[in-house]
Amino acid sequence: MVTLFYMVSIFIIGLIGGRAPAKAKGHAHRSNLIDLGEAFSGGIFLGAGLIHLLPDSADKFSQLAGDIDFPFASVVAGLGLLLILLFDQLGKSRIQTNKEGGHPTLLFLVLSIHSIIAGAALGLEGAGVASAAIFVAIMAHKGSAGFALGIALAKDDAEPAHHNRTILMFAAMTPLGIALGTYLSSAFTGTTDLALEAVFDGLATGTFLYVACFDILPGAMRSGGRTALKWGAVVAGFTLMALIAIWA
d(CA 113, CA 81): 11
23 pLDDT tier (thresholds 50, 70, 90): low
User: In this predicted structure, what is the pLDDT of residue 179?
Assistant: 95
The string of pLDDT tens digits covering residues 212-224 is 898 878 877 887 6
How far CA 50 is from CA of 46, 115, 139, 242, in Å, comes to 6, 18, 17, 10
Average pLDDT over residues 164-193: 92
User: In this predicted structure, what is the pLDDT of residue 98?
Assistant: 54
In terms of DSSP H, where are the helices of the chain? Answer: 2-19, 21-24, 28-47, 54-65, 72-98, 103-125, 129-155, 160-187, 190-210, 217-222, 227-245
Residue 183 backbone dihedrals phi, psi, to 5 degrees: -65, -45
User: In this predicted structure, what is the pLDDT of residue 55?
Assistant: 94
121 pLDDT tier (thresholds 50, 70, 90): very high
Residue 10 has pLDDT above 90, yes or no: yes
Residue 5 has pLDDT above 80, yes or no: yes
- Check if the beta carbon of residue 147 is closer than 8 Å to that of residue 18: yes
Mean per-residue pLDDT over the chain, rounded: 85
> What percent of the chain is modeled with pLDDT above 70?
88
Tell me the CA end-to-end span of the chain in Å, nearest whole number.
20
The DSSP 8-state label assigned to residue 223 in this structure reads S
18-22, 50-54, 127-131, 143-147: least confidently modelled range: 18-22
